[in-house]
Chains A and B, each alone.
Chain A
């Protein structure tokens, strides 16, 4: 199974900051890597697909990059509403796997 390691586990941020979240795969997943945002007591929401492709309705401050084993989710100007847990997920091979998540907190 592909193991996805997300770092950091928790990130304390100041509104307006530009931040980057990391997702590293135990083997290449090409660009079949997707990012999700989960707010408290809500279902996950697809944020970025196929490593870097934007999703309709998602603010443009969210962007993704990477390929192979190293991926990054960036938020250009964090807003209070972005306080959530962010998960990466690989769709390159079964079983589909998720990272353990990065929790965004206010500093």
Chain B
């Protein structure tokens, strides 16, 4: 069955780089896209960016200068790196599968809480 699971540090210091991993199972990264969505505490959902089946990427323009998404298909993993973190980057970070324009984000990981604090 389709599963996604995020992993990474729960605490990051201001100005440092966040590195998260999304490990997937039940589907192929070369024929599906995986995206990252974040949610600050008590707030709504923000699409950050994603990597498509062909390996190309798209990013939210508000984060593009700080964000990088990559993958290792042999390990079924997708990576998020975001630099210059500030306190307003504190959020739950979700990875999910985008099955296509007519399907939306059909499977989500459990999310990982990241706190930016010294």
Contacts and interface: CB of A to CB of B under 8 A. Distances in A.
A91 B104 contact: yes
A98 B44 contact: yes
Contact of A94 (B58, B102, B111): B58
Contacts of A50: 102-104
B45 to A, nearest CB: 4
Residues of A contacting B: mostly: loop
Contact of A95 (B44, B45, B61, B109): B61
A46 B108 CA distance: 9
Contacts of A92: 101
B104 A43 contact: no
Contacts of B27: none
Tier of interface size on chain A: 20 to 34
Contacts of B47: 95-98
B87 interface: no
Given A43-B109, A95-B61, A49 B102 contact: yes
A76 B106 CA distance: 23
Contact of A89 (B61, B105, B110, B111): B105
Interface of B: 35, 44-47, 58, 60-61, 94, 98, 101-106, 108-111
Interface of A: 32, 34, 36, 43-46, 49-50, 53, 55, 87, 89, 91-92, 94-101
16 contacts: A36-B45, A36-B105, A43-B94, A43-B109, A44-B45, A44-B94, A46-B106, A49-B103, A49-B104, A50-B102, A50-B103, A50-B104, A91-B98, A95-B60, A96-B35, A100-B44
